[in-house]
A and B are shown apart, each in its own frame.
Chain A
Amino acid sequence: MNYSSRRKKTTLSIMALVITLLHLMPFYILITTALKAKGDFSSKWVFPAEINWSNFSEAWEKANLGNALLNTTIITFFAAILLIMVGSLAAYPLARRQTKLNKFMYMFFIAIMVVPPLAALVPLYQLVVSIGLMNTHEVAIFNNVAAYLPLTIFLYAGFIRSTIPKSLEEAARIDGASTMSIFFRIVFPLLKPVTASVLIIACVFIWNDYQFAIFFLQDKSVQTMTVALSGFFGENTNNLNLVASAAIIAMLPMVILFLFLQKYFIKGLASGSVKG
């Protein structure tokens, strides 16, 4: 390695470090704020002298976070399962059978990704009211599935086209497997890495979804995490320590899921289908 490229590399690492620090700063402030008692007015940069865990339990009770956590978990779980099932089943023929109709459908799905989901708000809202799905979990699940299905199909189709060898499917076909059993027994297990990335993307987006939740889940009993949090923020602007604790509780599940899947994701990418 010569001198100039080494210097370039050092500059790049320093830049990356600065950017990372900038991104981590809000989290540091969030954590220090969450751990301070209400009367503690020390600077937000200082770590609290006395760690105060009671903020978490108080925020949990006051903001009704248990209920919100349950609602968000139900919505995210079912929406992610539906997305993976429907998305992979739709992407398989779109990637494998290149007929004119399939090419058109694929382009159509890509085009839908550009359309902001909110552009359809008015007709969607009127439809939801007229079929009586307001304030139910189902409406949030279906909305989120519809909103992220194009992205899921795009990821699955790209992966199937580029990494899954056709010969595997042909071999299974010769052994007498039906199309459905080829898909579920051979193709779907090989899709694990892309399933992990779909799961990460979909879960994070759906967990943090605010726009659909604020329109369709206005009732307190079906409130999601984000709506409960913003309501709690409005009520407690004079006690931000509580709000910070609630925010940490709200983001923790996704952080854990991400860390867990990240490891799995890299492992899945490294092992190919033909090798093993």
Chain B
Amino acid sequence: MPSITINMVINIIGGLKLFDVIISLTGGGPGNASQSMSTFMYDLYFSRQDAGYAATQGVLMMVIILILSLSALVYFRRKEVEA
């Protein structure tokens, strides 16, 4: 069970900050359909030259990942105790 917890949390974090697969396969397109948070930030900064928006997106991404991974960690830890 502890290994399931760790793997779930690591995979949630990894999935939320997915970058290279999207950039090399679709580039975020068609349109914005396959954009992840990381690629969206990349797009904002390098294509649209909007540093402020991109920085905000970076902070927001960190907060979202923190909240989701922490809640997943707490949820799975609780399950561990019950089992």
| Residues of chain A whose beta carbon lies under 8 Å from any beta carbon of chain B | 114-116, 118-123, 125-126, 210-211, 214, 226, 230, 233
Interface magnitude class on chain B: 20 to 34
Chain B 8-33 interface 0/1 with A at a Cβ cutoff of 8 Å (1 = within): 00000100110110011000000000
Q: Is the CB of B13 within 8 A of A121?
A: no
Q: Is the CB of B17 within 8 A of A118?
A: yes
When distances are taken between beta carbons in the complex, the residues of chain B under 8 Å from A120 are 58
- B70 → chain A, closest Cβ, in Å? 8
Q: How far is the CA of A230 from the CA of B19 in the complex (A)?
A: 14
When distances are taken between beta carbons in the complex, the residues of chain B under 8 Å from A126 are 51
| Given A114-B69, A116-B13, A116-B38, CB of A122 within 8 Å of CB of B58 | yes
CB-contact partner of B20 in A116, A125, A226, under 8 A: A226
Chain B 49-60 interface 0/1 with A at a Cβ cutoff of 8 Å (1 = within): 001001100110
Dominant SS at the B interface? helix
B42 proximal to A (CB < 8 A)? yes
Total contacts A-B at CB 8 Å: 52
Q: Is the CB of A116 within 8 A of B61?
A: yes
Q: How far is the CA of A129 from the CA of B32 in the complex (A)?
A: 28
Dominant SS at the A interface? helix
Q: Is the CB of B51 within 8 A of A122?
A: yes
Q: Is the CB of B38 within 8 A of A114?
A: no
When distances are taken between beta carbons in the complex, the residues of chain B under 8 Å from A121 are 41-42, 45, 54, 58
When distances are taken between beta carbons in the complex, the residues of chain B under 8 Å from A226 are 20
| Given A210-B20, A226-B20, CB of A119 within 8 Å of CB of B62 | yes
Interface centre among B13, B20, B42, B54, by most chain A C-beta atoms within 10 angstroms, is B20
B1 proximal to A (CB < 8 A)? no
